[in-house]
Chain A
C-alpha cells in the first residue's frame, strides 16, 4: 500500500500512448494513488478522455480541490517554476477499482482554469467551492458564485494570507452602513438563483425552506420554486454550518486536529478520526497493531449503527410518524453507554490516535458489547414492522426521488445512495482498510434507487454492522493498543526510560506534536453516509500544509434539485430524509 510502485502502470502507458509522455509528470505519493501533473491547457481533453474514451473509464469525479502553494518550501518540479496554486482532481474508476489524481499547476495571484462543469454534473459545486476558498476562476462555469462563505465576505479563506483566527482579523464592528449592506445582500432576488418568476401559464411562489425549519435537520436553506405544491425547482443554499474545518487543519498540530474531525460528520464520531488518521498514518508510514485495527473497526461499526438509528428515527418522523424516533434514540443511548464506557465521551469521543487508540479497552467491555449484540436484532425486527412495512410509509417513499446508477455516478453519489441503485460498491470490501478484509459481512443492495430502497439499505447495513461487531467480540486480538513507532502520538511512555533519544522524541512529540514526513496521502473510508476521505499534504512540519476533507454529503446535497423536481413539498421531505446528510458534513 505504501509502495509508490503500486501505481497503475497500465493507465500510465495508455495515457502516454494517446497524449505523449511530455504531457505528464508523474509524482510518487505516500498513498500510492497514480498522480500526474498535467498542463493547464490539456486538463479538459484529458479528463474527457478518462471519462469517456478509455477502457473501464474513470466515471466518477470523486473530489475536486485546490491548494495554495505559495508558502511552501519550494522544491521545483524538475526545474520548472513552482506553482502558486494547484488544482487537484480525484477520479474514481469502478471498473479498475482505482483512483487517479491529476494536478494542474497555476501561476499568478488570482489564476483561472477551464471549467469541467459540463463534463461532470457534480463539478459545479466543487468549482464554486474552490473559487470561494481560493479565488481561482473557472472559465465557462455557469454560475461561479460563493458557495460556503457569505456573499459579502472579504477574501478567500483558504489562501495562505487569509487569517485563520478571528483574533488576527481586528475587532468586529457592525457600522450602520455595514449592517445596511449585509441586509441588502440578504434580499431575495429569484433571478440571482437562476429562477424565473413566471412561466407561460403560472406565477411561481418562492418558499424558503430553512435555514430554520424542522424538516431540514440543521441549518440548510432550500429555495423552492413552487407551482401550487409542485416543485418546479429547488436550490439548496449551504454554508450556514461552515466552520472552516479545513483551515483549522493548517494551524492545529497533526495530533490536536483529531477532535475537529469528530465534528465533521457529527453522527459518525470516531469514524471521522479513522478517515483522518488513515491518511496521517500513510504519510508517517505507521502500521498499527492488529488489536488497534479491530478496536477501531468495532467502534466505527457501533457508530454506524448509532448514525443509522438517528436517520431511521428522524426519517420516520419527517413522514409524520411520531413514535419510532423515541425508540431508536433509546437504542442509540445504549450504544452511547458502550462508547462512553470505552472512550469516556459520547458523540465526539476524539479517541483514535496517530498509530493507535487513546487507551486500551476497559475491563468488562465485552459484556457491554455482547449484551447489545444480543439485544438489538429483536429491536430491528420490531422497527421493520413499525416503519418499513407500514403501508403509508411505503406510499410516501416508494418511487419517490429516483435516480439511476449512471446518474448516481455522474453526481458523485457514494454509500447507501449508490448501493440503492443496485451497485455493490463498498469501500470496506473493495479497498479494505483497517483490516476489514478479515471480516465476514455482506453488502446489501437494492434495485430501484428510490427513497424506500435507500432506507432498506441502511436498515440492512445495521444488521451487517452487528455481524462485524460480533466478530470483533469473538476475535479481539491481544497486543498493544498503540503502535511501536516514533511518530505514534502520544508515544509509548515505557520506552522513554530506555535512552535519551526516545526521551527526546517523546518530549518533542508531546510538546510540539509529531513532525509528519513531507508528502501527500488520501484516505477513503466507507463512512456512515458514503465515502469520506482526507487528502493531506505535509511539508514536513508539525501541522498539515493543507487538509482537504472529501465528505459524502456535499455531492449528495448537490443532487437534490435534480431528484426533487416535479415532486411535491411533502415528497421533498422524504427525499431529504432518505439522503441522510449532516450539515457539518456538507459545509465542514
Chain B
C-alpha cells in the first residue's frame, strides 16, 4: 500500500513539475531569443515578464476551442493529446537522481525510443484530420522526417548499450562513474543530439510546421488548448531530449559537491539553452535535403560507429 502511494505521489509531483517546467520554458525561450535578437521579449507581466506564462495559459484556456466543420472530429481532438501523453510517458524511465524515478525498467532505453516515436502520430493524425492542405503537407513532411531520423536515433544509442551492457538507464548512469560516455561515444552523442532535435521538430528540423512555407504546418487549424497541447508537447520534448542526452552521455545525476538532482537539472538546462540557441541561429534546410542528410550521411556514420564500438568491445573482451 505504502509502495503504491509512493508511486502515485511521485507521478503527481513529476507531472506537475514537468508541465510547469515546460510552461516556464516558453518564457525562457522568448527571453533568450529576445536577448540574442536585440530586443526585449515579454517583460510586462510580473518581474522579468515571468507571469507571461500565466497570461498565456489563461489566454489559451479561454480562446474559442474551434473545431473546423470540415475536420475529422474525433481524430482532430485526440491528436494533440498523443504528443503530450507520449512525451510524459517517456519521462517514466528518466532517472533524475537516485531514487527519484517512477519506473526503473530493465528496458528503459527501448521504452523511451518506443514512446518518443509515438509522438509522430500526433503530427500525422492532426495534419490529416484537419483536412487542410497546408496541414496535410506538414503531416507528410513530419512522417517522412520521423521515419528517417527514428532509425539512427536508436542506432546512435546502441554503442552506449554495448559499453554499459544494459538497457536500464540507471545502469547506464552508473557505468559513467569513471568517465562520461560522451568521451568514448562522441559520434553517438552528436548523432543522438541531431536525431533528438529532429524528434522534437525544432529549427533547423521544423519543416513540418515551417511557418514561412506552410503557415503553421500540421497545427494550422488548431487553436485554444488543443494548440496548447502541441505547444506544451514541444517544450516537454525539448526537456525530455535534453534529459536523455544528459542521462546517456553526460553522467546523469553524477557530479561532485552538489546534490545529484541539482547536477541533473543544471546539465539538462545547458542543453535546453542549446536548443534555443539553435533556433536563434540556423536556417531551415529543405525537406529532401534533410532526408538526404539523414539517409546518406548520418545513417552510414551511425552504422560505422556501431561497428567500431563493437570491435572495441570485442577486443576488450
Contacts and interface: CB of A to CB of B under 8 A. Distances in A.
Nearest to B283: A321
A374 to B, nearest CB: 20
Given A322-B33, A327-B38, A569-B137, A392 B285 contact: yes
Interface in B187-231: 203-204, 206-207, 210-215
Band of interface residues on A: 20 to 34
A57 B113 CA distance: 67
A393 B286 CA distance: 10
A316 B37 contact: no
Interface string A317-340: 111111100110010000000000
Contacts of A406: none
Interface in B1-53: 33, 36-39
A396 B285 CA distance: 6
A215 to B, nearest CB: 4
B39 A326 contact: yes
Given A323-B36, A392-B204, A205 B286 contact: no
Contacts of B206: 320
Given A207-B133, A214-B212, A320 B282 contact: yes
A571 B286 contact: yes
A323 B133 contact: no
A170 interface: no
Contact of A568 (B134, B211, B288): B288
A239 to B, nearest CB: 22
Interface in A198-237: 205, 207, 213-215, 228-229
Nearest to B33: A322
A395 B286 contact: yes
B38 A215 contact: no
A214 B38 contact: no
B74 interface: no
A582 B288 CA distance: 30
A393 B212 CA distance: 15
Nearest to A569: B213
B283 A393 contact: yes
B283 A392 contact: yes
Nearest to A318: B212
Of the candidates A215, A318, A326, A570, the one having the most CB atoms from chain B within 10 angstroms of its own CB is A570
A314 B237 CA distance: 29
B283 A396 contact: yes
Contacts of A189: none
Nearest to B281: A323
A573 interface: yes
Nearest to B216: A214
A256 interface: no
Nearest to A396: B286
Interface string B268-307: 0000000000011111111111000000000000000000
B: interface residue count bin: 20 to 34
Contacts of A390: 282-283
B57 to A, nearest CB: 24
Contacts of A330: 38
Contacts of B140: 228-229
A424 B118 CA distance: 56
Contact of A316 (B283, B286, B289): B283
A317 B37 contact: no
Contacts of A569: 137, 213-214
A322 B287 contact: no
A215 B214 CA distance: 9
Contact of A214 (B37, B215, B285): B215
A78 to B, nearest CB: 58
Given A229-B137, A569-B213, A573-B213, A319 B37 contact: no
B286 A568 contact: yes
Contact of A322 (B38, B141, B279): B279
B204 A229 contact: no
B282 A392 contact: yes
A568 to B, nearest CB: 7
Contacts of B289: 395-396
A568 B286 CA distance: 9
A229 B287 contact: yes
B212 A320 contact: yes
A321 B287 contact: no
Contacts of A207: 133-134, 137
Contacts of B284: 319-321, 392, 396
Interface string A363-399: 0000000000000000000000010001011011000
Contacts of A320: 203-204, 206, 210, 212, 282-284
A323 B204 contact: no
A501 B140 CA distance: 77
A214 B287 contact: no
Nearest to B293: A395
Nearest to B34: A326
Contacts of A228: 140
B33 A395 contact: no
Contacts of A213: 215
Nearest to A217: B212
A332 to B, nearest CB: 13
Interface string B102-145: 00000000000000000000000000000001100100110000
A570 B137 CA distance: 11
A322 B38 CA distance: 12
Contacts of A318: 212
A336 to B, nearest CB: 16
A137 B170 CA distance: 80
A215 B39 contact: no
A570 B39 contact: no
Nearest to A319: B283
B45 to A, nearest CB: 22
B37 A322 contact: yes
Nearest to B133: A207
Given A326-B37, A392-B283, 15 more contacts: A205-B133, A320-B203, A320-B282, A320-B283, A321-B282, A321-B284, A322-B203, A326-B39, A327-B38, A392-B282, A392-B285, A395-B286, A395-B289, A396-B286, A570-B207
Ranked nearest first, the 6 interchain pairs of A and B with the lowest CB-CB distance are A320-B284, A321-B283, A326-B37, A319-B283, A215-B212, A570-B286
Interface of B: 33, 36-39, 133-134, 137, 140-141, 203-204, 206-207, 210-215, 279-289
21 contacts: A215-B213, A316-B283, A317-B212, A319-B283, A319-B284, A320-B203, A320-B210, A321-B282, A322-B37, A322-B203, A323-B37, A326-B38, A327-B37, A327-B38, A330-B38, A392-B285, A393-B283, A395-B285, A396-B285, A568-B288, A569-B213
